[in-house]
Structure 1
Amino acid sequence: MVQMVKAVLLDRLWARMNERGDFPILSQSLRSTVAAMTNDDYDFTELVKVVLSDFALTQKVLRLANSAMYMAFGGNITTVTRALMVLGMDAVGHLVVGLKIVDHFHHSAPRRIDAKLELNRTMLSGCVARKLTERGDLRAGEEAVVCTLMRQVGKLLVVFYLEPEWDQIRRECDQGTAEDDACIDVLGVTFAEIGQDVATRWRLPEAIREGMGEYDPAGNEPRQVQWLRAITNYSTEVARVLTIAGLTDEAREEHIAELAQHYGRALNTDPETLVQMSLALAREEADDGVMREIVELRANADAIAREALDPEARISAGVEDLRALPPGSPLQTALTLATETVLAGLGFARTIVFVRRGANMFEAQRGFGPQVEGHLDTLSFSAAFQPDVFHLAIANSVGIFIENARDPKMLSRLPAWYRARLDDARAFVLLPVAHPGEPPVALLYGDWLLSQEPRRILPKEMSALNELAHELARFFSASPAKARV
């Protein structure tokens, strides 16, 4: 049963990522990188091609290869081929994997403070891992950085691609639930299990997958695996401690000292040295690096959090996200973005988008929440007129809000298919999606349940919802009969 829940969640997560359109590109790129790294004939050509195919990535590889950390190994490296010759295939390959992962998330959710903070915390942990290994073997060092980043990929994927579920996990954690327990409550799996699945799908080397695991001082794993896990776990924990809001300097140093005592032996480093290194890195980053951005984000957190809680602002941000999608973006991507925006913007329990098929039917194509996923194929209605609220909505040019779906007068206006499937709704909104002067091509639905506190949709919020529906319409063909998912 547990394995079934895990499989369903992971399949849903990967489907959601694929809908966004950018994740499959990252997956293929990482597989190509790993394949080039594991080429037994030591031909640099394929890995050079991978790096040179991305100008920004090329510059980052060369910049890091010429940094103070690697200067003793080469100096004045101006080509990727030279970097490979000096630093080695594995070191550059792992470096490329790490940069691609960070870049992907960096460009995925620029507006959300929680996503930015989680990504910066991950990047900071990578900085700690690189600092810990800078005097050792380059290959092992970059491998440790990738392990450290991958340990947190599961969490990043939930933050970036399952926003409603992430919000629920955060609420449980705020109430004192341990993060792993909250994750299991909401998703049925832990962040670590998601990360391991990702590593498998990306075909990362076994050493990476092993190094992502939990560190156990009494474990009987090979020494290299224990070392990788110690770096990965220590770096992740240090980054967490360094970014806890409101922690005094004394308390922060005390926490890091405890971590240094626990991991010092496995890392072959004196605990005091570990503490000083970690604190020194935090000071360096505070001057010009990830920590500085975290501090700046924290400084603006209250204002951003207020905006995030303001429904109009959240919906408007979703409108901007729709506008930012490049021409030719898949309709699936726009539908997912719109339904997530409606769900998160107003704190709805469920959202569904019905798409017009031909001239006769509206069929549910995307949805989130209880009684939705897995049941979309049972939610549809004919476009032919019926005296119910759904047909009132598709005949309207703007959205309508039903404040009390349990009112006897309203119950008579609810279609039978709706009462059979969604009979626990307290209130709901219907937003027609249409080109000017044409019949609707879709209908957005969102509801609050009887178990939720009653509330209303304010005029400014409805205005933002109508703007979202208007923006969504441009992703459909001008004629509803041509709309395809």
Structure 2
Amino acid sequence: MPDSNQLKVIRDDLLASIGEDANVPALGVAVAKVVQLASSDDEAVRNLAYFIMSDVGLAQKILRVANAACFRTNTGTPVTTISKAIFMLGFDTVKTCALGMLLVDKLSGNRAASVRAELTHALSASIFGRELSRRGQYKDAEEAAVAALFRNMGRVLLASHGHALYEQIDNMISEGVAPHQAVLRVLGCSFEMLAQSVMAEWEMPESIVQAQQPLPAGTLRPPRNRQEWVQQVAAFSSAAAELVAQGGGTPEAHAALLTRFGKALEVDQDSLQQWMETVTEEVDVVAGQAKLFRPAAKSGQNSAPTVQRSGELAGKEDALAGLLLADEAQEAAQIVERHPSGKPVNARELLMAGVQDAMEMMASGRCKLNDLLMLALETLYRGMGFRFATVCLKDVRTNHYRARIALGENNAARQAGFAFPVSDARDLFQLAMSNDADLLISDASEPKIRDLIPLWHRALLPDARSFIVLPLVVQKKPLGFFYADRALPALEGVPSDETGMIKMLKGQVVAALNTPPR
């Protein structure tokens, strides 16, 4: 067995290897951004949607997960926007799913079988954590699901950046050495300490870092405070995920888990069984979209090997296919072809899906105006293929229209500059607002159009060649407008069926603006 100095060298080399991986710093920045979002923050849903939509691959995976059978709504209509996915699945579900996808994208390339097995364990743990956090007594309880996701980070990092050490530990466990003893003999520290050191580098919230601390042995007492609760949820979730990896575990394993955590977290056999079924179904969907598999068993458990044979993987893919919406339903969510302007050929279908999403959101009785604005903006942005889109609302204090939400290219800078005073000037924007007239400009370079474009717009968006302005007018009072543009003319125009969908979408927002808050 190496002495303390040798173990320190081993740990330092491992941490150096992790630090030298170009993917890890970028992962740390992305993870920190998402983790800091709290569901109680009014801007959180918007910021989470921004983050996901900025990564096309991540957005596609989240949409496919949202369209899985286990998340499908009663209407059966496909989910085509990230805003609807967040509204339907819940903020915490999409947040932890996005975090899991980020980990997979950046870490699953090395030593695929073992790393992906550990990442699948982490995804399973996050779903257990989410289920427990929904029953939690604390505000922003989804933090526990995030802590559960990272509970396995030590094993993930070792599998991806120190695979020989990972195999050495697993071999010792297979020979009967206790897991914590095996890790100490090889690394001189616990997996939790390894994870904490890296998470601290990522500037993760201290409560999540501290939640990785090991718990006392034996039956646990009810948590005395929020931090203890998060720590217990993370530990329970990781232990329960271990049972999922074994195909559900034995009755004895269930009893042992409940003996340790049942009283502290108020979990009984019925709850555990229900969660096991939920996690098993959902992790198959999420892992399938992340190009992972749910391992039959993890090392040291004297059961089937982690690496599945090709036939077993094919069976898993067949099972996954049954969980997803039919191909024709999925196609409604996909942009299959574009006009030269960038506008999707199937714009009508994409707009119709957005209108249906807005109707469902409003009918739910829990629709917030900001959520509806975001969904409508995302529908216009994606459905019409714009490069920039924003919602502007009137600031009654300054008598200016200001951009409140923006999507697309350079959205932050353009949102900051997108403001102008209310006036009687005869430009496109003031005329649209005063007449409540929807403007669909196919080619802004035409002289009669160009002469009506105000100076502030020419300075901010000099290359805008096609754009729309959709006033939001309630009881003859202009409150704001949607604006979206492209850098190319839209010579294909906007046919009447698409125009009708756009007006319906705008009408839903106007109706919400006209509804007194409850």
Q: With structure 2 as the length reference, what TM-score do the two structures score?
A: 0.46
Q: With structure 1 as the length reference, what TM-score do the two structures score?
A: 0.49
Higher relative contact order by CA 8 Å / sep ≥ 6: 1 or 2?
Answer: 2
